[in-house]
Structure 1
């Protein structure tokens, strides 16, 4: 139902405390990010990461199950698997895979796209960095070009940022690869955390609206950029660092969005309509 709900100005110190509290691997499960910790080499982690991120939609237990299946197919070293496995064998191993709208043929195409990128650039990191210009304030332009090559003929896995999609899964992937703390493993070079865009879905959109980080109602790229800009007021060098902590509320048991508002707010006079 729709009701009138107050929005609040966020206490900077409270948001920083929230980040410090949740900057801990013990809060990761059941996030599919947990799959990436076993890959110590960034060459393996970046490939595992894009496969996991691209499948990260739907019910969380299904996500964990289906991502585990794909990681098992690639074995201990996704990098060596992609580099050395013939295309026909990749297609054969993925046959019968299904996750929501994603078929075995589509996930195989993603792996073959990654194979092409490794041949051309040596790594996904090098590919992405090659698209960044000195004038870019954020990763959006590079993200569009990266999605075109990695996401060729994989519409249910890699969306097209140029069409206005928030591209939550791609931005989540970049958060994992670029940021490095107790939660995000990092490992990529050539991109600063300041350039990242917040991974936006309806959950993060609702939280951000209630906290006053956005005035928009549609969870698209425009909203993601507005939220990111708002978070730069708290840490301009690493605005996306708050994403993990904020999104624990409403997901993990005992952490409701009402709890989050109580912890972060300084009451303001502004009121907006919100779905509660």
Structure 2
């Protein structure tokens, strides 16, 4: 395990630079970093499913820096937009929800209402619940985008997009934005997707065979043995190693 730790420490350091985010190496974080805003970043994170190239192309087309807008202006700006499971109406409704989120104090405030008593999963559940309260609109695509509050760790998905958003907001590095305060990096849970799941099992960092919340927590606990204060510093490196099919051992 010492050999794996040394490899990951070196990989994490080598990957922690802006050149990892480019048109040749696309990642939704490159769009989020253009704005350095918690709400634009939330949009980038929640739409971060599918191929990285497609995600970045879609996010770039949204013109996130256009500022606040009423419903009429949003509908004009977003006319004809769609992304995989989200049609134009789903996207319009998401931006209306986001305006409501800003008006009631913002993502950080609502996350912390759950975090202070129930940790990371409580914070995510608090924020998701508030998003649904802000807008009565429902559809399959809209609900897929936001996800569901975490009722049971044992029955929850890995919540990869939400965990990635928290990494962006809490950690401060050459990649992550560190826009929030008062949330400990040691509390964060690994954003577990297929690439990270497969490479983690290959490296012996993860035993669980199902890519779910329990697996994300198991991997986080393993990485805390390498760095108890900041286990997610390995996330981007593990993701790239899996994505690029680099198998060191």
TM-score greater than 0.5 by the shorter chain: yes
With 59-68 and 149-158 compared, the bigger mean Cα shift is at 149-158
Q: Which residue of 1 aligns with 2:205?
A: 213
- Cα distance in 1 for residues equivalent to 2:241 and 2:17: 15
Does the CA-based 8 Å contact 2:27-2:53 persist in structure 1? Answer: no
- Structure with the higher helix share, 1 or 2: 2
Larger RCO, structure (CA 8 Å, separation 6 or more):
1
**Residue 145 of structure 2 is aligned to residue 157 of structure 1:** yes
- Cα distance in 2 for residues equivalent to 1:201 and 1:11: 20
- Cα distance in 1 for residues equivalent to 2:93 and 2:181: 26
**Residue 83 of structure 2 is aligned to residue 91 of structure 1:** no
Distance 1:161 1:226, change over 3 A: farther
- Cα distance in 1 for residues equivalent to 2:191 and 2:44: 15
**Residue 68 of structure 2 is aligned to residue 36 of structure 1:** no
Q: Which residue of 1 aligns with 2:246?
A: 257
Distance 1:216 1:10, change over 3 A: farther
Choose which of 111, 115, 128 in structure 2 pairs with 1:132: 115
With 197-206 and 209-218 compared, the bigger mean Cα shift is at 209-218
**Residue 16 of structure 2 is aligned to residue 23 of structure 1:** yes
The alignment partner of 1:97 has SS state of: coil
- Cα distance in 1 for residues equivalent to 2:200 and 2:3: 11
* Structure 1 gap segments, 5+ residues each: 1-7, 263-276
Deviation at 1:109, TM superposition (A): 1.7
Choose which of 85, 97, 105 in structure 2 pairs with 1:113: 97
**Residue 100 of structure 2 is aligned to residue 100 of structure 1:** no
Deviation at 1:161, TM superposition (A): 4.5
The alignment partner of 1:111 has SS state of: helix
TM-score, normalising length: structure 2 = 0.86
Pairing of 1:152-191 with structure 2 (within 5 A): 153=138, 154-162=142-150, 164-191=156-183
The alignment partner of 1:247 has SS state of: helix
Deviation at 1:12, TM superposition (A): 2.6
- Cα distance in 2 for residues equivalent to 1:156 and 1:225: 22
CA RMSD, Structure 1 to Structure 2 (Å): 1.9
Deviation at 1:207, TM superposition (A): 1.0
- Cα distance in 2 for residues equivalent to 1:142 and 1:36: 21
Deviation at 1:18, TM superposition (A): 1.6
Distance 1:242 1:161, change over 3 A: farther
TM-score, normalising length: structure 1 = 0.79
Deviation at 1:247, TM superposition (A): 1.2
Number of residue-to-residue matches in the alignment: 235
